[in-house]
Chain A
């Protein structure tokens, strides 16, 4: 009886181990795909290919929706393209995911300062 229990436990443990391993594999796989797209996007942006960078970072977000880095980078790209509402949304998402990240905070602060004067003028007009 005890031997039977041991055998069942061993099977359960093996199954749990196998599923954990598979889970880790898929997780690490999606993370590596995400990292790959993230890096690709950075390289594209450094070569001033911002449309390509946007495509890559959007893809990175598909693999890893909670990537603060991808959301931050996408925000920078949107800023560059003059898509301010989209940039704001992405910065806010990035900050929500990583509120202590000083680089994201710095980007968002600069973004707000750069466009605040225009906004104030718009508000006055309205």
Chain B
């Protein structure tokens, strides 16, 4: 009798655990995002130079940023796009409405894209065991001392209405990426990082859909 009870108990346990195993499916979902502002209400977009906190060696950060945004915005903005040089006085100038109001007098339907940037590189070292970690893509499974060259881009973007000096959109982007190649150039890494910024920025201001991954599960 006792044997039978034990057997039944074992059977219940096996059934329980076989039912409790979790299955999942990865799905790509296009998630809608609400546009932060209506670009169509502006006829002109002025891309200013950026407030560069620290110059990068052998790389014209400001020029690359201005070129990048000017070229990208052409594809999304129907109006005129031009560049404007600004002489930066102080760091918190973005909040000073009077400064922006007087920058482009008589501009009724003009939007200014501006911001501040800091671009840095560093070498990171780590002693690794032989194991794999799914989430750590920069230091994959290997043994011994690993070295990666990391580039970090801190970019604050502002979209300011020229007529009122009001900030219509602002967001801080902090993007980072590590490379195995110790000779990786700042120029190459910059475009990798700007790709991430581009996706987020245009998704924000245009309200474009973004593809994200989610798990559907069954228990």
Tell me the complex Cα distance, A34–B200, Å: 38
Q: Per a CB cutoff under 8 Å, which of B29, B33, B216 touches A42?
A: B216
**Residue B32, interface by CB 8 Å:** yes
Interface size range on B against A? 20 to 34
CB-defined contacts of A39 to chain B, threshold 8 Å: 218
- Of chain B, the residue at the smallest CB distance from A103 is B215
Check B218 against A79 for contact (C-beta < 8 Å): no
Give the segment of A1-9, A11-19, A113-121 that binds chain B. Answer: A113-121
**Residue B5, interface by CB 8 Å:** no
Check B213 against A110 for contact (C-beta < 8 Å): yes
Give me 7 A-to-B residue pairs in the complex whose CB atoms sit less than 8 angstroms apart, sorted by A's number.
Answer: A46-B25, A46-B27, A79-B29, A80-B30, A103-B22, A106-B215, A107-B214
**Residue A33, interface by CB 8 Å:** no
B201 to chain A minimum Cβ distance, whole angstroms, is: 11
Q: Interface code B108-119, partner A: CB below 8 Å = 1, 0 otherwise?
A: 000000000000
CB-defined contacts of A104 to chain B, threshold 8 Å: 215, 217
**Residue B58, interface by CB 8 Å:** no
Interface of B is mostly: strand
Interface of A is mostly: helix
Given contacts A76-B27, A80-B29, A103-B24, contact A45 B34 (CB under 8 A): no
Instruction: Give A contacts to B, CB under 8 Å.
Output: 35, 38-39, 42, 45-46, 67-69, 72-73, 76, 79-80, 82, 101, 103-104, 106-107, 110, 114, 117-118, 121
Q: Per a CB cutoff under 8 Å, which of B25, B27, B29, B33 touches A118?
A: B33
Given contacts A101-B22, A114-B212, contact A80 B31 (CB under 8 A): yes
- Of chain B, the residue at the smallest CB distance from A82 is B32
CB-defined contacts of B217 to chain A, threshold 8 Å: 68-69, 72-73, 101, 103-104
CB-defined contacts of B32 to chain A, threshold 8 Å: 82
Given contacts A45-B216, A76-B216, contact A114 B34 (CB under 8 A): no
**Residue B156, interface by CB 8 Å:** no
- Of chain A, the residue at the smallest CB distance from B19 is A31
**Residue B80, interface by CB 8 Å:** no
CB-defined contacts of A103 to chain B, threshold 8 Å: 22, 24, 215, 217
Check A68 against B204 for contact (C-beta < 8 Å): no
- Of chain A, the residue at the smallest CB distance from B219 is A69
B210 to chain A minimum Cβ distance, whole angstroms, is: 8
Check B219 against A68 for contact (C-beta < 8 Å): yes
With a 10 A CB-CB cut-off, give which of A80, A101, A104, A110 has the most chain B CB atoms: A80
